Structure 1
Amino acid sequence: MSCPDCFRGTIHNHGPGAEGVKGYEETIHGKRTYIATPSTAADSQSTILFVTDAFGIDFINNKMLADKYAAGTGLRVLLPDLIPGGGLSTSVMGIMDRISKPVSWWNVWGQLKRIGAVFRAIWYVAPFMMRASPAKAYPGVLEWTRKLKADMPAGAKLGVAGFCWGGYQSTNMSKEPAVEGGSVRLVDAQFCAHPSGLSLPDMIVDAVTTFKVPYSLAQADVDIVLPTEKVLDIEARLRQAVGDGQGEGGYNYEIKIWKDCHHGFAVRFKPGEGEGAEGAKDQAIEWFKKYL
């Protein structure tokens, strides 16, 4: 969870009523929650839980994407403030860009500015990781999600979409029962993009096999956190364990690698990554429409 691309990207624009969706906030189980409600609702009473990247509920890109999921599926999408202490300031994005910008070795002033940017980045990122590392936050996220599932109407399903920090949460919740010690699964469909902090390949294999939760992964082909080689190894392990993921034995999974994209592209896509971000968005929508 500590690679530079976890904290880089582009801030996008968001207008009221984007995607034909009504978006508003209210408190659910003690957490401030952005709710995206589609103007044309699906017949299903299912809900999609959107678990954000490190920038949290106030990052406009996350709300934009939640709106798109609601519009595309016709389902209610909930984006709760689940990060302990709140999300990371978007100011760190510009700092990371300055660190990554090439500077000639003889440019003393440029090198000094880069060193200063490194210390500023540490000032932001280190406290965040201490209070809100994915593993440390997970018990609280799990507890909140179980409360959400318990409040849903009979027969309604719960889909979870996780991004970077949230991909750790959504992946691990796929192997959890709805109540501790129970035999009914908590999550009915899972989508994640460029997850961070996972122990691989075991966590993803367990997510697919424990409760046979339909599992979809959108991955960048240029990703320091989860390189393509590891993604291919995960896919090979899954094929060996449960087949091709097309429903044999009740197992459903898909892994798509999006070309010319970097870690964070599904939410914070930069110039040149828009096609991959759009593809990952459609991947998630079709997955949730199929299983929710």
Structure 2
Amino acid sequence: MSCPDCFRGSVHAHGEPQGKIETVHGLRTYIAGGGSDIDGTRSKSSILYLPDAFSLKLVNNLLLADQYAARTGCRVLIPDVVYNGGMSPHVLPLMEGLMEPNASWSVGGVLGKLVTALRVIPYALPWLVFGHPSKVYPQVLAYARAMRAELPAGGKLGVAGFCWGAWGGTKLCAESAVEGGSDRLIDAQFNAHPSYIVDTPEVVVDAITKFKVPCASAVAEKDFQFNAEVAGKTEAKVRDAVGVTGGDGGYTYEFKIYKGCKHGFAVRAQQDTASMEGYKEALNQAVAWFDKYLN
């Protein structure tokens, strides 16, 4: 399910997107990296970036994809698969105002909250009805398989999922590269502050056990959904199924708790907060993970 924090956070202004938007495998796609390889630093691997609810409408996702591409050498693709092209960033300040505590409970304050709520409803209600990632999962699977099929010899496919995108990214890890095949589709997965997984924790176990895909998660300690407590229980289920990470069974997983961080921190962190420090650390976590298992 979605939570209020799925629609909170800030728009980042620390750079300009360096990629381009083109149609790839039938979908409008932001492409980061993947240019010429004159200096020999470009990776043969690619990363499928499944975004938060804001998708390509939020510049943060484009900037983050650029950083993944620059620091791993991989080509990074963000397909436009979120319902209605993504939630409008205009909802961010509205939701911040709505969730801000009303200390005085004055008549004006209460009325202001009601007005803000009425402005949020046209954004939130359609999303709650039509926005679940399962509704577009067949498209996501087909897109990932198409990415896999076009990799050069020696190339690998990673997936990074954030909030909305983490559910689909996790499910992809239990899929084969082709329908009915025996080779895995995904070679490494990273997700941050996943939504919906709290309702179906078995997808995490399946992601790790089916093809032994290395899976890492950046967990917000204070997440409405997949918080430190839930992550601990999920990790225990994985451990019961396959043993400790890096053990003789060959299963690799990582649940890293980001103290003081809230849902959305890895994409929409507010400046000068604990979440912004978490943003930087989660970026480092993802880059290190993909460098290890894709390059």
Bin of the TM-score, shorter chain as denominator length: over 0.9
In the alignment, which residue of structure 1 is the partner of 2:23?
A: 27
Task: Note the C-alpha offset of 1:68.
Answer: 0.9
Aligned-partner Cα distance in 1 for 2:260–2:48: 28
Aligned-partner Cα distance in 2 for 1:95–1:117: 6
Q: What is the aligned-residue identity percentage?
A: 49
Give deviations 1:150-172, integer Å, cap 9, x for gaps.
Answer: 22223311000000000011011
- Decide which moves more: 235-244 or 1-10: 235-244
Unaligned runs of 5+ in 2: none
Give deviations 1:93-134, integer Å, cap 9, x for gaps.
Answer: 111111111224541121111012112222101112322212
Closer, same or farther: CA 41–217 of 1 in aligned 2, 3 Å: farther
The letter for the 1-side match of 2:28 is: R
Whether contact under 8 Å (1:105, 1:111) holds in the other structure is no
In the alignment, which residue of structure 2 is the partner of 1:227?
A: 227
Alignment of 1:280-291 (within 5 A): 280-291=282-293
Give deviations 1:75-95, integer Å, cap 9, x for gaps.
Answer: 111112111321000111111
In the alignment, which residue of structure 1 is the partner of 2:140?
A: 141
Alignment of 1:69-218 (within 5 A): 69-104=68-103, 106-198=105-197, 199-218=199-218
Give deviations 1:32-66, integer Å, cap 9, x for gaps.
Answer: 11111167664531101111000001211001111
Aligned-partner Cα distance in 2 for 1:144–1:26: 14
- 1:61 is paired with a residue of what secondary structure? helix
When normalised by structure 1's length, the TM-score is 0.93
Q: How many residues align?
A: 288
Whether contact under 8 Å (2:57, 2:89) holds in the other structure is no
The letter for the 1-side match of 2:26 is: G
Aligned-partner Cα distance in 1 for 2:210–2:187: 12
- Decide which moves more: 254-263 or 199-208: 199-208
Whether contact under 8 Å (1:24, 1:35) holds in the other structure is yes
Closer, same or farther: CA 2–84 of 1 in aligned 2, 3 Å: closer
Unaligned runs of 5+ in 1: none
Aligned-partner Cα distance in 2 for 1:286–1:15: 22
- Decide which moves more: 146-155 or 36-45: 36-45
Aligned-partner Cα distance in 1 for 2:214–2:91: 34
- 1:57 is paired with a residue of what secondary structure? helix
Alignment of 1:11-22 (within 5 A): 11-16=11-16, 22=18
Aligned-partner Cα distance in 2 for 1:170–1:2: 16
- Decide which moves more: 92-101 or 240-249: 240-249
Aligned-partner Cα distance in 1 for 2:269–2:23: 29
In the alignment, which residue of structure 2 is the partner of 1:64?
A: 63
- 1:261 is paired with a residue of what secondary structure? coil
Q: CA RMSD in A?
A: 1.7
Closer, same or farther: CA 229–106 of 1 in aligned 2, 3 Å: closer
The letter for the 1-side match of 2:142 is: E
